[in-house]
Chains A and B, each alone.
Chain A
Amino acid sequence: NAGVTQTPKFRVLKTGQSMTLLCAQDMNHEYMYWYRQDPGMGLRLIHYSVGEGTTAKGEVPDGYNVSRLKKQNFLLGLESAAPSQTSVYFCASRPRDTSGNTIYFGEGSWLTVV
C-alpha cells in the first residue's frame, strides 16, 4: 500500500535555485495539502487543493507555487529558493465525503537551502 508518496526525500539547494516536490497518492482522494514543519512552529499550511485543476493558498503561500493537473498528483514548486525555505515539507491527502475524515501524510521531504 503506497498511500502518500513524496519525492525527493532529501535535497540541498543553493539560494536562487528552483525545484519541484512531487506528491502522489493512490487513494483517489479529492483533497491534497502541502505543509511545512519548522521547530516550535508546528505544521503550517502552504497551499491546498480540493480537486483536480484547483488550488488555493494556505497560511504561508509566499515563495511557493502549486499545480494539480492530475487528481493523484500535487506538485509544490520553489521558483527561487531562499534559506528561509529550509524546512521539512509534508504532503497530505484525504477524501472529501464527510466531515472529520482522517488525513493521510507522506513521510516528508527534507529541504535545505544554503
Chain B
Amino acid sequence: GNSVTQMEGPVTLSEEAFLTINCTYTATGYPSLFWYVQYPGEGLQLLLKATKADDKGSNKGFEATYRKETTSFHLEKGSVQVSDSAVYFCALSAWGGGSEKLVFGKGTKLTVNP
C-alpha cells in the first residue's frame, strides 16, 4: 500500500539554523508529493509540491526534491525564522480504489527559538 514516513519530532532550532525534515514514501505507480504546514490553531495549508521525479518544489525559502531512486522528498530551508514554527506534514497523492487520495505522514513539529 501507499505510505509516508517522516522523521519524528519535535525539532527545536535556533533562528537562522539549517533545517532538514526527512520524508520517505512507498507507493505504487507515480505519486505526487507534497509538504503541508499547520500553524497553531489552524488547518493545513500547502507549502510546496512536486508531481514527477527530479522536480523541485519551493516556497517561502523551503525546498524539496522528488527523488525517485531513494523514494524521498526531504524538506530543507537554509535559514529558519521564528515564524516557521509549525507542524510539517509530508504527503503523497496516489490512485487507489478508483479515486485519488492523499496519504499523510504523522507530522513533525518544528520550534524555532530567537
Contacts and interface: CB of A to CB of B under 8 A. Distances in A.
Interface string B38-66: 00011111100101000000000000000
Nearest to A38: B106
Interface residues of B, number: 24
A107 B42 CA distance: 5
Contact of A102 (B46, B100, B104): B46
B22 interface: no
A101 B42 CA distance: 21
Interface SS of chain B? strand
Given A42-B106, A48-B101, A108 B32 contact: no
Contacts of A27: none
Nearest to B95: A99
B32 A42 contact: no
B62 to A, nearest CB: 16
A106 B45 CA distance: 9
Interface residues of A, number: 23
B86 to A, nearest CB: 14
A13 interface: no
B89 interface: yes
A105 B45 contact: yes
B99 A106 contact: no
Given A31-B99, A105-B44, A106-B43, 17 more contacts: A4-B43, A41-B106, A42-B89, A42-B104, A43-B107, A45-B102, A48-B101, A50-B98, A99-B93, A99-B95, A99-B100, A101-B93, A105-B36, A105-B43, A105-B45, A107-B42, A107-B43
| 9 closest residue pairs by CB, A with B | A100-B32, A42-B106, A105-B43, A100-B51, A43-B104, A105-B44, A107-B43, A42-B104, A50-B99
